[in-house]
Amino acid sequence: MNVANFIVCIDGNANQGECMARGILAALTPEYVPGTFSFSFSNTQRSENSIIRNQKKLGVIERLSDDWNGNGANSFSKELVDKVRLLLDEILHQPEIFPTAGDSIQLEYDRNNGQHLEFEISENNDIEVYEELLDGKTEEYSIPFDVNSINEVLRRFYDE
């Protein structure tokens, strides 16, 4: 696939680089249907298929070269990708995964009730968390890079 010819935008707020990265990742998603340029955010349960899908996405992210978004974004280090790979084997729910222009990898979760959760994982030992709550408010905070901390946030998010 020629990346330059596969620039798609899934939401109107994304910049061209995010659209390109999401398009690449959408092509690897089982829910992807050629011509629709969309994929589902509902498959976040911990299943072998979702873990394999996410490992494939990480492989694509690991192979992105410098300037992958057309705006000078850096490529991703093997250390960061491996860090996220290890998390995927241990977290309670599988996310949607996206590269960011800020040298991080973002794990996203959406619920049918409108709640949204993001973990932004970078080279440092903290994870930035962003939540959109039921009441419309948002919260931003940091947690340690630790599977137990992530799973605690996920349990709360999914009311478990």
Return the pLDDT at 30.
40
The crossing angle, in degrees rounded to 10, of helices 48-63 and 78-88 is 170
Return the pLDDT at 12.
39
Q: Which residues contact residue 49 at a Cβ distance below 8 angstroms, ignoring those fewer than 6 apart?
A: 30
pTM for the full model?
A: 0.72
| Per-residue pLDDT tens digits for 37-51 | 333 333 344 567 888
DSSP string across 40-70? -S---S--HHHHHHHHHHHHHHHHPPTTTTS
Instruction: Please give the share of the chain, as a percent, with pLDDT higher than 70.
Output: 71
Residue in this structure with the two tokens 């860090």, named with its chain if needed: 83
* Tokens representing residue 132 in the block: 């959109």
Phi, psi (deg, nearest 5) at residue 108: -125, 145
Return the pLDDT at 48.
74
How far, in Å, are 38, 86, 99, 115, 138 from residue 46 at the CA level? 21, 14, 21, 19, 26
Q: Do residues 154 and 109 make contact, with C-beta atoms less than 8 angstroms apart?
A: yes
Return the pLDDT at 46.
54
Does the pLDDT at position 103 exceed 50? yes
| Per-residue pLDDT tens digits for 53-90 | 999 999 999 999 999 989 999 999 999 999 999 999 89
Q: Do residues 76 and 99 make contact, with C-beta atoms less than 8 angstroms apart?
A: yes
Return the pLDDT at 20.
47
| Per-residue pLDDT tens digits for 124-157 | 889 999 999 989 899 999 999 999 999 999 999 9
Phi, psi (deg, nearest 5) at residue 126: -115, 155
